[in-house]
């Protein structure tokens, strides 16, 4: 009990019937005598009867680009974020320059100067 004739997929059946219906609408002669005058029903009956020939084309293989053509997604990302260009220009194997401990200590000292431990301003 195959609803689609000798077609392997209902999706392929729909595609074939729709393409055949377009041909009939453009003036092609029907291959069968049907009770219905509806060209879509005639196209469906032709596909079910196996009167419509079709060919499944193989998928074209995608071209794989060479490794030279590939782009590293992280290129320029550091610049977009706002990091210094010196760090952005370094390769992925190189480590960025470390912050000098004296600078970090100065920044922490500036934040704590405004308040004392008991929460009152000096």
- List the chain pLDDT tens, one digit each, 122 residues: 477 778 888 999 999 999 999 999 999 999 999 899 999 999 999 999 999 998 888 888 877 666 666 666 665 665 656 655 555 555 556 555 555 555 555 555 555 555 555 555 55
Residue 79 confidence (pLDDT): 60
d(CA 109, CA 93): 34
**18, part of any domain:** yes
Number of structural domains (the chain) is: 1
Residue 17 confidence (pLDDT): 94
Three-class secondary structure of residue 13 per DSSP: helix
Residue 20 confidence (pLDDT): 95
**43, part of any domain:** yes
Whether pTM exceeds 0.75: no
Domain of residue 27 covers 10-49
d(CA 102, CA 49): 87
**72, part of any domain:** no
**33, part of any domain:** yes
**24, part of any domain:** yes
Which residues lie across from 115 on neighbouring strands?
Answer: 121
**40, part of any domain:** yes
Residue 59 confidence (pLDDT): 86
**17, part of any domain:** yes
Q: Rg of the chain's alpha carbons, rounded to an integer? A: 36
From the list 104, 87, 107, 83, the residue with the least C-alpha distance to 95 is 87
**42, part of any domain:** yes
């Amino acid at each position: 009990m195959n609803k689609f004739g000798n077609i392997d997929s209902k999706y392929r059946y729909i595609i074939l019937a729709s393409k055949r219906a377009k041909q009939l609408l453009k003036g092609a002669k029907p291959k069968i005598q049907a009770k219905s005058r509806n060209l879509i029903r005639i196209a469906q009956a032709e596909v079910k009867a196996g009167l419509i020939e079709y060919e499944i084309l193989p998928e074209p293989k995608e071209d794989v680009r060479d490794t030279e053509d590939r782009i590293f997604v992280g290129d320029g990302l550091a610049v977009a974020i706002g990091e210094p260009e010196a760090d952005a220009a370094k390769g992925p194997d190189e480590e960025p320059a470390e912050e000098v401990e004296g600078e970090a200590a100065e920044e922490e000292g500036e934040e704590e100067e405004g308040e004392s431990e008991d929460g009152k301003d000096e």
